[in-house]
Chains A and B, each alone.
Chain A
Amino acid sequence: MPERKLQYKEELFSTEDPFFTPFEIQMGPQHPSTHGVLKLRLVLEGERIVDCEPEIGFLHRGLEKLAESMSYTQVLPLTDRLDYISAMNNNTGYALAVERLLGIEPPPRGKFLRTMVCELARVASHLLWLATHALDIGAMTVFLYCFREREKILDFFEDICGARLTVSYPKIGGVRLDVEMGTLERIYDFLPEMEKRLEEYEGLLSENRIWLERTRGVGVISAEEAIAYGLTGPSLRGSGVEYDVRKHFPYDAYPDLDFEVPIGKNGDIYDRYLCRLKEMRQSLRIVKQCIEKMPSGPVCAENSPDLDMLISKRAPVAMAKGEIAFIGFPFERVNLVPFGELYSAVEGAKGELGFYIVSDGTGKPYRLHIRAPSFVHISALPKLAKGHFLADLVSIIGTLDIVMGECDR
């Protein structure tokens, strides 16, 4: 971007201060703490950041374009690769959008299972966030402690569906498999242990003087600015805005469950840190309630579409019920699915994860747009980083909880 470069040069020479000698430094895409392949072009004056420009696209896989040539069901495994740290949330978000388009309602057990794994994934994602964030600020031990617990949650995922990261467990109309009773019991036993572990992390960090000095008053963003930049999730709630898709636009089993939305006050790194820790506690609470209230019955809706949307096996059943909506060849221009546009959002681990689907009636999306929170959050990075030190930039990247897989799609 040559014109941008010129602008900063002008700034450089027009300054009155003769000692103002900024230099440019490229941070990333291969750098230990840019969380993936984020590249930052920094203009530094000593250690102070004069200008910061994120460059993204190093992990671009054309996911949205790819989705246009696949049937609705085939797109689901692609969404695993968005925010690969909490794949359950992505799957649920996409499945929910398609369900709303097709008018399918998952059975209660499917809903509760989906909510349970989503919250477990949120805890796993926040654990990874805490681990890397603490490592960036230099607390090495927290990093390994968090990974220890995250490993257990991934083991539960393995028990539930066979995969650890790219799970594809939730599907359109419910979940793919039922869960064994033993697994549920093990998860239930894990919850109090996890609470204890959270206290352990807090003991290491929350009142640590160095941690307080590094996080308080750094990367401050006011509530109005946070809304203007489109921040969502814990990054917004840290500034004191109580916005949570789970509360405001409830989906799945959330209306039946009792939980709070923790908010911060000052909008600095420390408040966002506290916010996420409280959120983990709430997630554990939700998982507990889910297991206690778990209804029995089928886990997936009868009229859930097949991989090729043909419903070859279920066609007679659906016909008998008068649901002919999904019968037919997917890529013909017939009324397989309703026409129209639809935006549906879930509360992902990083923020509001939205799926915008344009349907032209065929079995594949005409256009699929993903509102990825990481992408939006990166746009706030220059605002947060300007005037801070280079060391703070690392903690600011950490506090926004960026995943490049989701940002570049």
Chain B
Amino acid sequence: MVLNSNDMVHLALLSFFKGLIVLGIMLFHAAYTVYAERKIIGRIQSRLGPREVGPYGLLQPLADLVKLLTKEDILPKEADRFLFKLAPLLLLVTTIVNLSVIPFYPDFIIADVHVGILVILAFAGLGVYGVILGGYASGSKYSLLGGLRSAAQMLSYEIPLTVSLAGVILAAESFRLGDIVEAQANSLFGMNLFPQVIGFLVFLICAFAETNRAPFDLPEAESELVAGYMTEYSGFRMGLFFLGEYISMYVMALLISLCYLGGWSLPPWMLSLLPILKEIPPVLILLVKVYFFIFLFIWVRATFPRYRFDQLMRLSWKVLIPLSFLNLLIVMFFKLLT
């Protein structure tokens, strides 16, 4: 395809505005997920959650933001100044970039690359750098331990994550997330969940580990490592780490909805049962699925104790990786039959 300069400008502007929209929506969501998390966990633990700032505490995220931004920026004496400042940015940027290849709507995608899944996996791998550097640059032993833990954790959980995604890629015969959703909509069950239950479960568990959420929140296990790699961070730098965590939750929730639950499409059998469902806008369908997984993240955090480091590694290498390969084998077998 040959583009003239007019088209180039048009495309650049379009991508720019799309990026702004996605970033705006995502930052809003991240802020209010913190609020939702506090409210939901509050309900689960039979207390009220935030309710002082604004009606129903709705302005709490804003107050938190102001607090984080106006706090003193503390640089520990022992810290490596450059890396200490770089680490939270690295984590945040590598997380946000993931959003550029995720389609929110059949036609709404910032960069429609043909290897969307690979881009996401690559940037998930890069995100580990932010955590390691954060732990290393702080010059504190607690931070270092937290950084090392999370490096080992993220690396070992990326393998089952990738292999379980291989099943999805194989089923759709494409790396493009849009194609994956299309393929699911045309399949028998309407979603990858049913032929690939094992893959779905493996991916779900890995998503918890990738985002450092409970019960795999070892890098920031507050009981033994104070706050892990974030121990020495305060103010807006800690806020950046926080934001990174919440956005990566959304990335994982989006990915799992797109790859396993059919994204913005509904299964054909459901549509034939209730034709009225066809009227629902596709974005809404995707949002419901994503919100369900965000709720799951929060729910699990309120319910489960924390795994120990060696148990976590054992789970990954001895259970999840064989299971994900089993899933891949099953998918291959059915692919051969059809």
Contact = CB atoms under 8 A, between A and B. Distances in A.
Interface of A: 23, 25, 31-33, 47, 134-141, 144-145, 148, 204-205, 208, 210-211, 213-214, 389-394
Contact of A137 (B223, B226, B302): B223
A138 B221 contact: yes
6 contacts: A138-B215, A139-B304, A139-B305, A141-B302, A214-B308, A389-B308
B130 to A, nearest CB: 22
Contact of B44 (A23, A141, A205): A141
Interface of B: 41, 44-47, 141-142, 145, 149, 214-215, 217-218, 221-226, 301-311
B304 A210 contact: yes
Contacts of A23: 141
B66 to A, nearest CB: 26
Contact of A135 (B41, B46, B223, B303): B223
A32 B308 contact: no
A391 B310 CA distance: 10
A140 B301 CA distance: 8
Nearest to B47: A144
Contacts of A137: 223, 305-306
A-B CB proximity, top 9 nearest: A138-B306, A144-B45, A139-B305, A33-B223, A138-B305, A136-B223, A137-B305, A394-B224, A391-B308
B305 A214 contact: yes
Contacts of B218: 391
A98 to B, nearest CB: 40
Interface of A is mostly: helix
Contacts of A389: 308-310
Contacts of A139: 303-306
Contacts of A204: 303
Contacts of A145: 45-46
Contacts of B306: 137-139, 210, 214, 391
Interface of B is mostly: helix
Contacts of A136: 223-224
B214 to A, nearest CB: 6
Nearest to B218: A391
A392 B223 CA distance: 11
B304 A144 contact: no
B203 to A, nearest CB: 20
Contacts of B45: 140-141, 144-145
B304 A208 contact: yes
A150 to B, nearest CB: 13
A276 B63 CA distance: 42
A69 B222 CA distance: 43
B305 A393 contact: no
Given A140-B214, A213-B311, 20 more contacts: A23-B141, A47-B149, A47-B309, A138-B306, A140-B302, A141-B44, A144-B47, A145-B45, A145-B46, A205-B305, A210-B304, A210-B305, A210-B306, A210-B307, A389-B308, A389-B309, A390-B225, A391-B223, A391-B308, A392-B308
A211 B308 contact: no
Contacts of A392: 308
A138 B46 contact: no
B228 to A, nearest CB: 12
B310 A390 contact: no
Contacts of B149: 47
Nearest to A205: B305
A213 B214 CA distance: 16
B141 A394 contact: no
A33 B224 contact: yes
Contacts of B225: 390
B285 to A, nearest CB: 31
Nearest to B226: A32
A127 to B, nearest CB: 15
Nearest to A210: B305
A134 B303 CA distance: 11
B305 A390 contact: no
A32 B306 CA distance: 16
A31 B226 CA distance: 7
Contacts of B301: 140
A145 B47 CA distance: 10
Nearest to B306: A138
Contacts of B308: 213-214, 389, 391-392
B141 A148 contact: no
B215 A25 contact: no
